Amino acid sequence: MRSGQVAAVDLGATSGRVMLADVGPDRLDMTAVVRFPNDPVRVWNGRRNALHWDITGLYGRVCQGLSAAARAADGLVGIGVDSWAVDYGLLREGRLLGTPHHYRDDRTATGVDLVHAVVDPEELYRRNGIQFLPFNTVYQLAVERADGLLDSADTVLLVPDLVNYWLTGRAAAERTNASTTGLLGLDGHWDTTLMRRIGLRPSLFRELVEPGSVLGPLRPEVGTPLGLTDAVQVVAVGSHDTASAVAAIPMRPQEAAYISCGTWGLVGVELPAPVVSDESRTANFTNEIGVEGRVRFLRNVMGTWLLSETVRQYERDGAPGDLAVLLDQAAAASAPADVFDTDDPRFMPPGDMPARIGSWYRERGLPAPDGPAETVRAIVESLAAAFAAAVDTAARLSGVDVATVHMVGGGCRNTLLCQLTADRLGRPLLAGPVEATALGNVLLTARATGLVDGGLDALRTLVADRFPATRYVPSGAMVSW
């Protein structure tokens, strides 16, 4: 084994980053080369102002980041790309057809009706094990078909697969992210029978590849301008960001739960096999494929989107919008008498989040938060309650005896959220690493390029040794772990 350098392209729903890592059998150091916003755009489509991703602008920033990584590195050997799930580009003969829709666009209600008219939700869950979310890929594609947009397409590529295609020229579907589409069967393969029933051509979907598969070198037209040679291999990592994040959590799956907390909070456990009971469907738990074929049995909970959108509204109103200051003020504020339902659909689109939260309370005859500090306190308390409830449900449905909960991602820097979550869990909470997604990405790229070896447990040990967590206990004490 040798040490070397790899780059992780980590694209979140609100921001992206390119990380450079030095990796070896006893080495794991990582720094951010560039960070950049990932802001959606609204485009008039003849009927309405639809929400889209600026995918070509995003790809341009990825390339700028890889160029910076090339200048900073001493011999880069691999690149991995991960992103959020469900969204995709349509291609014809290798060319992108239009700008990909954002999953928060409100077009998908029609798709839900179209799919459920052919396959009822109960059967759909038995086939794919995926929780119901109105923006799942299967529903988005039903809208595309109804609008006639699939007639011109010959390929569907999820966002990280699309970026990998542009880098390498190879069109493939990485399995962890493909499992979020609702079109993969419980056996881990494309459900072509389901596709045909809902009017989707199976030929639209590319070959499935495992996380950790080498896709190939950079195309010269891409690599040469960036200062990278064809010796740099692009690896299909756990390209769903949560798959990479969970791969980097130094946990004992038989006694732990996790909260991957960013724009969304993904709360669940890691299992050897899916759970597709009527009870798990009713609880809206999903069975997504993880690294090494493990199952991420989890539930999507609204995450720090509530805080970021609240801060944006305060800034639009001309009020101070510094989240760190607001969290300090919230810590000193009184807890609300009641928490609100963070999964209420009204909180999904961008907009005036404080007003929507206030409306939720007033509609129920409850006292609404009065002012920014009280609003932020209500958000954090409500998120903590939602996280704790999801952990308890995951434990009950899966049979995992959860003794410890790990929180990773940007949300684990929020000390108030960590402490309130531990309080509501009644269990210790281990916070960190913050950059779990990039670490999982890096480790799979490093293993594929010969810098490290071993299974998932060995990779997690590297993380635990290099990135110690902070332990929160329900009593309120906080110590290093």
Which tokens go with 77? 């050997």
Given a contact cutoff of 8 angstroms between Cβ atoms, the answer to whether 428 and 259 are in contact is no
What CA–CA distances, in Å, run from 388 to 263, 267, 422? 17, 9, 8
Beta-bridge mates of residue 29:
22
Which tokens go with 394? 């995951």
What CA–CA distances, in Å, run from 370 to 192, 218, 244, 255, 377? 52, 54, 39, 40, 11
Which tokens go with 57? 């602008």
Match 């239009």 to its residue by tokens: 98
Residue 241 falls in the annotated catalytic set:
yes
Distance CA 95, CA 359 (A): 45
Beta-bridge mates of residue 298:
268, 286
Q: Which residues, at least 6 apart from 338, have a Cβ–Cβ distance to it below 8 Å?
A: 361, 366
User: Phi/psi zone of residue 325: left (φ > 0), alpha (ψ -120 to 50 degrees), beta?
Assistant: alpha
Q: How many CA atoms lie within 13 A of 464 on its CB side?
A: 14
Report phi then psi at 6, rounded to 5: -135, 160
Given a contact cutoff of 8 angstroms between Cβ atoms, the answer to whether 171 and 158 are in contact is no
Of 70, 84, 445, 453, which Cα lies nearest the Cα of 235?
Answer: 445
Distance CA 192, CA 202 (A): 6
Report phi then psi at 322, rounded to 5: -85, 115
What CA–CA distances, in Å, run from 232 to 217, 304, 323? 6, 35, 39
Please name the helix (run of DSSP H) or strand (run of DSSP E) that holds residue 28, with its range, or none.
strand 27-37
Distance CA 98, CA 100 (A): 6
Of 422, 416, 415, which Cα lies nearest the Cα of 333?
Answer: 416
The β-bridge relationship of strands 49-52 and 76-82 is: unpaired
Which of 22, 87, 161, 241 is catalytic? The answer is 241
Of 73, 312, 295, 56, which Cα lies nearest the Cα of 186?
Answer: 295
Positive or negative torsion for Cα 13, 14, 19, 23: negative
**Catalytic center residues:** 241
